[in-house]
Structure 1
Amino acid sequence: MNAPRNFDHVALLTDYGLDDEFVGVMKSVIVDIAPHARITDIGHNVRAFDVRGASLMLARAIQYVPRGVVVAVVDPGVATKRKMIALEVAGGEGVLVGPDNGLLVPAAAMVGGVDRAVVLSNTTLHLSAPGATFAGRDVFAPVAAHLCNGVPLDELGEAVDPDILMPGLVGLPQIGDTEIIAEVTWVDVYGNCQLNLGPEDVVGLTAGTNRLTVVVDGADRSVAITAAFDDITEGALGLVVDSYGMLAIAKRQDSAARDLGLASGDQVVVRPGAGGGTTTRVSFGKIAPEAPRQ
C-alpha cells in the first residue's frame, strides 16, 4: 500500500454551467470537509452531456493543473450502472475523480497513464442524499475532500484494472500517402478548428510549399501554412500550430468554423496544395505558445 498524500488543491470541470447552484454546492462540500483546500475552475460551460468535448478540454488543461485532485463531472449515465472512479496519476502527484465514461482516461494518458484505479464504493466517504442524480455533490466532491485530508486511494473502494476503463472517444487520423482523413477535435471561441493532427503528420503532403488543400463536405479550400494568426491573408484560410501544438484551421480575426460550417467531431480531408504554392521559411518545429487573441 502506498503512503497517503495530503493534497491542497482541487480543480473542477463540469457541464453544470453557472446559472444554477450546482458548482457552488460542490465547492461548499469540499471546503466543509477540507477547509485548507484551494479550488480552481477548469471550466463549467462544457456543452451538456458532451463527454467527448469535456475529455479533450481536460486533456488540454491537465499539464497546467497543480499537484492535487481533479474532479470532472460530465455524466449522462448518472444513477445508472456506470462506475464512479478515482485514478492515481503521475506517481501519486495527482488523482482524477469522475465517472468511468471516457472522460478521464485521455487526461491520464497526457501525464503518463493510470498508476492505480479504484471504484468509489466506500459509501462512508459519500454524503447521504435523497436521490442518486447529483453525484458531483454526493460522491465526487466529498471524495476529493477526503483525498485532500490524506485518505489513501485504496480506502475509497475496490481496485480496478486500469486496462478495463472506458477509453477516450476521439479517433486517430487516417494518414495515407496522398491524403489524411482528420477530425475537428475542438472549435474555440474564435472559430479556430483544431484538428487531431500534429504538424509532423502533414509534412509529407507539403512538398516544400506553404499550401495544402482541405476538403469539407466535398468542397476544396486552399489553406496557407502560417506561423501566426496575423500572417493569414485577409479573408483566406490558414493552418497554424496552435498553443497546444496541434494544427488548427483559422482565419485572420474571423471564424474558420463559420466559413466552413465546421463543428467539433466533423471530418476534414487534408491533401497537397493544388499547385501554385510558393516555398516558405515557415517551419513546423516547436514554437512558443501564442497568447490568446483579443
Structure 2
Amino acid sequence: MAIITLTTDFGEKDHFVGAVKGAIYSELQDAKIVDISHSISPFHLHEAAYIIQNAYKSFPQGTIHVIGVDSELNPENKHIAVLMDGHYFICADNGIISMLTSDINPEKIVEINIHDRIISNFPVLDVFVKVAGHIARGGTLDVIGKNISEIKQLTGIKPVVNKQESQIIGNVIYIDNYGNIISNIGKKLFESVGLGRQFIITARTAKFDKIHTHYSDAINFDLPPEKREEDGKKLALWNSSNYLELAIYKSNPSTIGGASTLFGLEFRDTITVNFKVEN
C-alpha cells in the first residue's frame, strides 16, 4: 500500500487533521499516513514548498503527497494532481508546484475534475482524499482529471550576484522551529562565485567570516565546559539541504532567543555575502 503524506497549515488545535486522516482510513483501511507538517504558516506557499522539497525525496517512489495549503477551489485556484520525480502531489494550482519543479520537469499534470460528483466545502477532506485513494489503489491520473501542460507560476526568491561577482545578495526563505534562519544562498552558488576567497556574511548587525558543517563545529571542545562560549553562540553553516543557515547554538526562542529574533530577521529580509576583491 502506498504511503500518503500530509502537509497543511491546519495546525493542531482544530479537528481538520484528524478528520482528513479519518477520511483516508475510510477509503483505505490499511493506509500508511505520515505527517510532514501541519504547522505551515497560514497560506505561506514559500514555506510549504521549502518543507515539501526537503522532505519528499526521503520517501519511496510512488508516495502520494497531499498538500493542504491555500486549497479552496475557485476560478483562479484549480485543483491538480501531478506525477513528478516518481512521486504524486495533490494540491491546488496556486504556484506551489512551480517552486518544486525548478530542477525537475513533471511527468504528468491533470486538472482534477471530480468536483461534480462530490459536495465539498473542505477540499482536502472531500476531494484530495478521494484522489489519493484512487491513486493508492492503482488508478491512473487520466480517470480523475484532464491533462494540462501549464501550471500557475510562483517564482521562488532567488539570490542575486553582482556583475563583478564579488557579492551575493540573498534572502531569508524559512525560519525553523529553533528560530534558525535559512537563506536561499546555496553552497554550489557560493563556491562558484567565491572561488575560495575570504568573505563576510552580513545579516543586519550580525557578521560571519566562517561557515561550518555542523552546529557543534562552532564550539571549542578543547576548553573546559565553564570556559566555552556556548549559550548564545552565533554561527553560519551549510544545512542538510546545502543552504546557508544562520543559527544560535542550542537556541531556544522562549529563553535565550533564536537567530531570527536576535538578529531581527524575517521572511524575505536580506542576507549579503561580500567576497574579498583581489588587487
Q: Taking structure 1 as the reference length, what is the TM-score of the superposition?
A: 0.79
Which of 86, 90, 108 is the equivalent residue of 1:116?
108
Over the aligned positions, Cα root-mean-square deviation in angstroms equals: 2.3
Among all aligned residue pairs of Structure 1 and Structure 2, give the percentage whose two residues are the same amino acid: 24
Question: Which residue, 135, 138, 142 being the options, matches 1:147?
Answer: 135
Partner residue in 2 for 1:248 = 245
Which of 262, 266, 274 pairs up with 2:265? 262
Work out the CA distance in 2 between the residues paired with 1:206 and 1:191: 30
* Offset at residue 59 of structure 1 (A): 0.8
Q: CA deviation at 1:85?
A: 0.2
2:67 maps to which residue? Answer: 72
Shift of 1:258: 1.9
1:57 to 28, 51, 54: 51
Q: Which amino acid counterpart does residue 117 of structure 1 have in structure 2?
A: I
Q: What amino acid maps onto 1:39 in structure 2?
A: I
Q: For 2:217 and 2:200, how far apart are their aligned partners in 1?
A: 16
Residue 170 of structure 1 corresponds to which residue in structure 2? 156
Number of residues paired by the alignment? 255
Alignment gaps of 5+ in structure 1: 1-6, 275-294
TM-superposed CA distance for 1:207, in Å, is: 5.0
AA matched with 1:261: G
1:88 aligns to 2:83 (yes or no): yes
Separation in structure 1 between the aligned mates of residue 274 and residue 195 of structure 2, nearest angstrom: 9
- Which sections of structure 2, spanning at least 5 residues, go unmatched? 220-228, 252-257
Q: Which runs of 4+ in 1 moved over 6 A?
A: none
Q: Is residue 37 of structure 1 aligned with residue 31 of structure 2?
A: yes
Q: Which amino acid aligns with 2:235?
A: G
Contact in 1 for aligned 2:214/2:237 (Cα 8 Å): yes
User: CA 1:221–1:143 in structure 2 vs 1: closer, same or farther (change >3 Å)?
Assistant: same
The 3 A distance-change label for structure 1 pair 59 and 241 is same
Superimposed CA distance per residue, residues 152-172 of structure 1 (whole angstroms, 9 cap, x where no aligned partner): 1101111111xx212344122
Match of 1:191 in 2: 179
Contact in 2 for aligned 1:119/1:160 (Cα 8 Å): yes
Structure 2 vs 1, CA of residues 61 and 175 (structure 1 numbering), >3 Å: closer, same or farther? same
- Of 101, 105, 115, which aligns to 2:98? 105
Cα displacement (A) at 1:119: 0.6
User: For 1:244 and 1:213, how far apart are their aligned partners in 2?
Assistant: 19
Distance in 2 between residues matched to 1:20 and 1:220, nearest whole Å: 39
Alpha-carbon separation, structure 2, partners of 1:43 and 1:220:
30
Post-superposition Cα deviations, 1:49-77, rounded to whole Å, max 9, x if no partner, equal 111111111111111123321100101x6
Q: Measure how far apart 1:227 and its partner are.
A: 2.6
- Structure 1 residues 26, 225: CA separation in 2 closer, same or farther (over 3 Å shift)? same
| Aligned position for 2:254 | none
Specify whether residues 107 and 271 from structure 1 end up closer, same or farther in structure 2 by C-alpha distance, changes over 3 A only: same
| Counterpart Cα distance in 2 of 1:232 and 1:198 | 20
Q: Which aligned pairs between 1:218-237 and structure 2 lie closer than 5 A?
A: 219=205, 221-232=207-218, 234=229, 235-237=232-234
Q: Greater shift after overlay, 139-148 or 222-231?
A: 222-231
Partner amino acid, structure 1, of 2:20:
M
Q: Is the 8 A contact 1:72 1:103 kept in 2?
A: no
Report deviation, 1:206: 7.2
Q: Which of 13, 21, 32 matches 1:19?
A: 13
In 1, distance between residues paired with 2:206 and 2:167?
13
Shift of the 228–54 alpha-carbon distance from structure 1 to 2, 3 Å rule, reads same
Amino acid aligned to 1:170: G
- State the shift of 1:174 in Å: 0.4
**Do the aligned partners of 2:73 and 2:92 also contact (CA within 8 Å) in 1?**
no
Look up the match of 1:47: 41
Between the aligned partners of 2:38 and 2:47, the Cα distance in structure 1 is: 12
